[in-house]
Amino acid sequence: MKEGSIVSSYTFIHPDTFYRLPKDFNYREYIDIERELWAFFPETIGRRVNFCQTGLTAQVYAEVRDDGSELGDQETYFLMPCADGKMKPVRMRSMRRLTLSEFRMTYLTAVKLGEELTKILDVFRSLDSKVLGELS
């Protein structure tokens, strides 16, 4: 953990947590698909990017430097595959809301990303167990 960093009361896992990706996970394919989002959201070029639906709206997020400080109002962590073979929380800030047409255009890219992520369901199951504990 970074010296003096704060663990936000709003995060479900510590920001330094990681999960090993299976050796056969193809990060290059995954990141190529993720980078398709740069075409839709040019303000994110050069950074990790994600978008998230919350209720009946969606927002595009771009990676920001994680200085260990408390999360800002427009910040969160997304658990994402990384080049070092680990699935790690990536600190991101909301860039803006998406219009319905933007959301529809990015849907196919999201489906492709989801297909890649189904290859690592064990990672998500492990995370669920850590966050939720044992459910009876």
Tens of pLDDT, residue by residue over 76-126, are 999 999 999 999 999 999 999 999 999 999 999 999 999 999 888 888 888
SS3 106: helix
Q: Do the domain assignments include residue 75?
A: yes
CA–CA separation, 80 vs 25, rounded Å?
13
Q: What is the pTM (predicted TM-score) of this model?
A: 0.86
Euclidean distance between the first and the last CA atom of the chain, given in angstroms as a whole number = 33
Domain range for 59 is 19-127
Q: Do the domain assignments include residue 92?
A: yes
CA–CA separation, 43 vs 94, rounded Å?
11
Q: Do the domain assignments include residue 133?
A: no
Total domain count, the chain? 1
pLDDT at 125: 84
